[in-house]
Chains A and B, each alone.
Chain A
Amino acid sequence: MRSYIIRRLLLLIPVLFGIIILTFAILQFFSPVQRAALFVTNPNQFKDINAIIQKYNLNAPVYVQFYSWIGQVLHGNLGWSQFAKLPVTDAIIFFLPATLELFLFAVPLTIFIGIRLGRLSAVHRDKPVDHVTRGLAIAGYSLPTFWLGLMLLMVFYGFFSGLFPPGRLGTAADAFVNSAAFTRYTRINTIDAILNLKPWILIDALRHLILPVITLTVVNIAFVMRIMRSSMLESLGKGYVVTAKAKGLDEKTVMNKHAGRTALIPVITVAGYLVSGLMSGAVITETVFNYKGLGYWSVNAAIQLDIPAVLGFTLFVGTVVVITNLVVDLLYAYVDPRIRLG
């Protein structure tokens, strides 16, 4: 197991490096003037664009540029986001909690429901339940995220006049949350509401969260369900399931404990892809629901050609996904006794 961990960690380095190089490669599509925005930390510096170009060698050969740029990145300077009117790093920190809040609800929901459905589907293979469940999961996955979002808004915001509105908070709640009476611990509204003991803020936040979370979940359930189903089917065919039955255990224990627990292990590997898929989904969902998180920021930045923002976002997300995959791999090795003690 130790060698596995070490190998995995070593693998991290070239991939991270590669991400940086890829981002840099994309960067080269732009002119020096545009690229200058990446080295700027406050708007006043734009007046001396040429000085900046000189300073950071933006006209020099590629490897020199890379050296200048990577220096900046490692110092935490990713440039200035025109859309957010903040340095990119600050913008990321500013918009992150909103997206985290979405994930906080969407990830457990997707995993939980996906596992349940997958197990159900496998146990009743080829029976109507199986077909219906699989059909629904595929339908969910075939829905365009933005369309589902818009439809949900149409019904629950339009038809039910404002039951589940877009955005993060209603105007009253928003004003309150930004006032002195409310302490921002994490900037995640639901958690802060609980910590501040203000239930009405919690309810308001939840009202705004329901639709985006549902949108994200519906589209990504198929992912989890599919792998759980195939893993469970494989598990059900294994000898220890027959042994378990031969021991006189009841159906539920056999399914849940023996077949189920072993089947869960491969599902962990999906978690990495799930985060990636949710991030893609979040970009669209946040835009549709006007939910001011990382996705919202990146899309508006893209439309307005706010290059540092787009690239900073890309770099950030890439790094996060890589680290998540690493954590997932290590977790997998730990959970499976065959690898842990092998």
Chain B
Amino acid sequence: MAPRIRELRFSLRRIRDSPLSMVGISIILVFAAIALLAPVLAKPNPRDAYSIPKFGFSPTPKPPSENHLFGLTQDQYDIYYGVIWGTRTAFRVSILVVGSALLIGLVIGAIAGYYGGIVDEIFMRITDIFLAFPYIVLIMAFVVAMGASLDSVLKALIIVWWPSYARLIRAEVLSVREEDYVEAAKAVGGSDFRVITRHVIPNSIYPILVMASLDMGAVVLTAAAMSFLGLGAPVGYADWGQLISFSQNWIVGPPGHPFAYWYTVVIPGIFIFFFVLGWSLLGDAFRDILDPKLRRR
């Protein structure tokens, strides 16, 4: 185990030395704090915490004020409440999707790689098919079929995301299977399965980590896009993409005040941007640190 621990410490040190990854980690921690402290930061709506409270009936957005820190968007939804609880939504979505996609991909990829032959071929053709479509196009089709809602978006995301993980795991399993020590282990009576799990998991942790970090951001981006287009979270739900879709009509203010309603667009967008940025920086830094070809000086 000692060499692995040494490698791990080397990796941790490189993470510490890389300015980009430190920035990424800090950003993520801030968002995690916001998500955890959501009920404290914004008193939850008694009926449904994720339903943004309205403060009036006027369609015109109102600028930030004492009571409404980030202003009110179209139909008087409170932006501050929306972005705070939207953080929770973002984490929920990303963790759920990435976690599920990872698990499904793990199982399928492991089976495909382990058994090989026709099972492998079939599974790989299936992943090819899914990967042939641009994400959004396929997700749109699924969401239309299942009826537009946040749940449909979640399901569609999971369906579309698992193939990449399956591919990754399968590649690892295959490469491990080729190794001589598998033969050796079998010769002394060890089972294929145990050897593979003992070696596949540690080896594949790194690329999975890279992919998962990047995906945490990518999933939120896609989910936000779906909500923005009107195919995801329903109107008034605490979701960043949903908030931005309100702002479409207000990007140009009245003559003479072009930026009058800036807060409806800029604020929710900043939240999305930094959330994704944090994870992307982390994932990219991981990739650089853990790529064996680029690792050592």
Residues on A close to B: CB < 8 A?
14-15, 18-19, 21-23, 26-27, 29-30, 131, 134-135, 138-139, 141-147, 150-151, 153-154, 157-159, 161, 226, 230, 233-234, 237, 276-277, 279-280, 283-284, 287-288, 298-299, 302-303, 305, 307, 310-311, 313-314, 317-318, 321-322, 325
Contact = CB atoms under 8 A, between A and B. Distances in A.
Interface string B252-275: 110000110010011001001100
Contacts of B134: 276-277, 279-280, 283, 317, 321
Contacts of A321: 132-134
Interface in B110-155: 125-126, 128-130, 132-138, 140-146, 148
A21 B122 CA distance: 14
B144 A283 contact: no
Contact of A30 (B133, B142, B145, B231): B145
A21 B140 CA distance: 17
Given A18-B128, A145-B225, A230-B291, A134 B20 contact: yes
Contacts of A153: 251-252
A307 B258 contact: no
18 contacts: A18-B129, A26-B142, A135-B20, A138-B277, A142-B277, A146-B244, A147-B244, A150-B251, A151-B266, A154-B262, A230-B294, A233-B294, A237-B293, A276-B134, A283-B137, A302-B140, A318-B133, A321-B134
A287 B251 CA distance: 14
Q: Which 4 A-B pairs rank lowest in CB-CB distance, beginning with the nearest?
A: A18-B129, A29-B145, A147-B269, A158-B252
B229 A302 contact: yes
Nearest to A139: B277
A73 to B, nearest CB: 15
A151 B140 contact: no
A23 B125 CA distance: 15
Contacts of B128: 15, 18
Contacts of B273: 139, 142-144, 147
A289 B40 CA distance: 38
Given A18-B129, A29-B146, A153-B252, 10 more contacts: A144-B225, A147-B272, A150-B248, A158-B251, A158-B258, A161-B258, A280-B135, A302-B144, A303-B229, A303-B230
A310 B141 contact: yes
Nearest to B23: A135
A18 B126 contact: yes
B284 interface: yes
B79 interface: no
Nearest to B270: A147
Contacts of A139: 273, 277
Contacts of B221: 142, 144-145
A314 B258 CA distance: 38
Contacts of B144: 302, 305, 307, 310
B258 A287 contact: no
**Main SS of the interface on chain B?**
helix
B277 A134 contact: no
Nearest to A141: B280
**Main SS of the interface on chain A?**
helix
Contacts of B228: 144, 146, 284
B224 interface: yes
A151 B262 CA distance: 9
A233 B134 CA distance: 29
B19 A311 contact: no
B93 interface: no
A318 B125 CA distance: 14
A53 B140 CA distance: 26
Contacts of A141: 280
Question: Which of A131, A142, A226, A233 is packed against the most chain B CB atoms within 10 Å?
Answer: A142
B276 interface: yes
A237 B272 CA distance: 38
A302 to B, nearest CB: 5
A157 B251 CA distance: 9
B217 interface: yes
A233 B294 CA distance: 8
B224 A314 contact: no
Contacts of A26: 141-142, 145
A29 B126 CA distance: 20
Contact of B231 (A138, A277, A303): A303
B272 A144 contact: yes
B140 A299 contact: yes
Question: Which of B241, B247, B277 is packed against the most chain A CB atoms within 10 Å?
Answer: B277
A19 B134 CA distance: 12
Interface in B9-45: 19-20
Contacts of B244: 144, 146-147, 150
Contacts of B133: 19, 276, 314, 317-318, 321
Contacts of B217: 142
A97 B272 CA distance: 32
A13 B229 CA distance: 34
B295 to A, nearest CB: 11
A93 to B, nearest CB: 18
Interface in B203-225: 217, 221, 224-225
Contacts of A131: 19-20
A288 B244 CA distance: 11
A298 B140 CA distance: 9
Contacts of B258: 154, 158-159, 161
A158 B132 contact: no
A318 to B, nearest CB: 5
Nearest to B277: A142
